C-alpha cells in the first residue's frame, strides 16, 4: 500500500456524491417515514463505512492507473459499475420518485443505488491490493445495502 493522492478515488467520489447532492432535493415520496425507522446498527455500519471509504480512496495512490495490463480489467469493471450507478440515478431522476423507483434494480442488480457503488469500491480495493479499503467497503456494504433492503421490503409490504 502506497500513501499518496488518488485521482481515481477523487473521480469515484465525484461520481458518488454528485447524484446524492441532487437527490437530497429530490427525495422519494414518504422517504422520511422510512428513514425514521432505520436499523441503528446498520446505520452505524453505513456511517463508519462512508467515512472509511471516502478517506481511504483519496489517500492511497494504489488506485491510480499504473499501466495497462490484464489486471486493469478489474479497474475497468469497477469503473463500469460506477457508470451504471450514474445511469441508475438518471433513471431515478426521470421517474415519479417513489420508494419503488428509489430501490429498483438495474440489469438484475438488486437495490442498485446501494449495491453498485459498494461493488465498485470493493473492486477498486482489489485492483489496488488495499485491504483497509476492502474492509471499509464491506462495512459500508453491510450498512448501506442492508438499509436499502429494509426500505425496499417496507415499501413492498
Instruction: For 35-86, give the secondary structure using H, E and C.
Output: HHCCCHHHHHHHHHHHHHHHHHHHHEHHHCCCCCCCCHHHHHHHHHHHHHHH
pTM: 0.92
For residue 69, what is its C-alpha cell? 495490463
Average pLDDT, the chain: 94
* Percent of the chain clearing pLDDT 70 (strictly above): 100
pLDDT digits (tens, 9 = 90+) for 92-103: 999 999 888 899
In sign, the C-alpha dihedral spanning 92, 115, 36, 153 is positive
Q: Give me the pLDDT at residue 140, please.
A: 98
The per-residue pLDDT for 25 is: 92
pLDDT in tens, 119-144: 999 999 999 999 999 999 999 999 99
Where is average pLDDT lowest: 47-51, 74-78, 151-155?
Answer: 151-155
Domain residue limits, the chain: 7-156
Residue matched to cell numbers 452505524: 44
Question: Which region holds residue 147: left if phi is over 0, alpha if psi is between -120 and 50, else beta?
Answer: alpha
Amino acid at each position: 500500500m502506497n500513501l499518496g493522492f488518488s485521482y481515481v478515488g477523487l473521480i469515484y467520489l465525484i461520481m458518488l456524491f454528485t447524484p446524492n447532492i441532487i437527490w437530497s432535493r429530490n427525495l422519494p415520496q414518504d422517504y422520511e417515514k422510512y428513514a425514521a425507522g432505520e436499523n441503528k446498527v446498520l446505520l452505524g455500519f453505513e456511517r463508519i463505512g462512508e467515512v472509511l471509504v471516502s478517506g481511504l480512496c483519496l489517500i492511497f495512490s494504489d488506485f491510480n492507473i499504473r499501466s495497462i495490463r490484464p489486471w486493469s480489467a478489474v479497474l475497468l469493471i469497477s469503473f463500469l459499475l460506477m457508470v451504471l450507478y450514474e445511469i441508475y440515478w438518471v433513471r431515478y431522476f426521470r421517474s415519479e420518485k417513489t420508494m419503488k423507483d428509489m430501490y429498483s434494480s438495474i440489469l438484475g442488480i438488486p437495490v442498485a443505488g446501494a449495491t453498485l457503488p459498494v461493488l465498485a469500491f470493493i473492486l477498486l480495493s482489489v485492483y489496488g491490493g488495499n485491504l483497509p479499503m476492502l474492509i471499509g467497503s464491506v462495512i459500508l456494504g453491510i450498512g448501506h445495502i442492508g438499509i436499502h433492503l429494509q426500505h425496499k421490503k417496507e415499501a413492498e409490504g
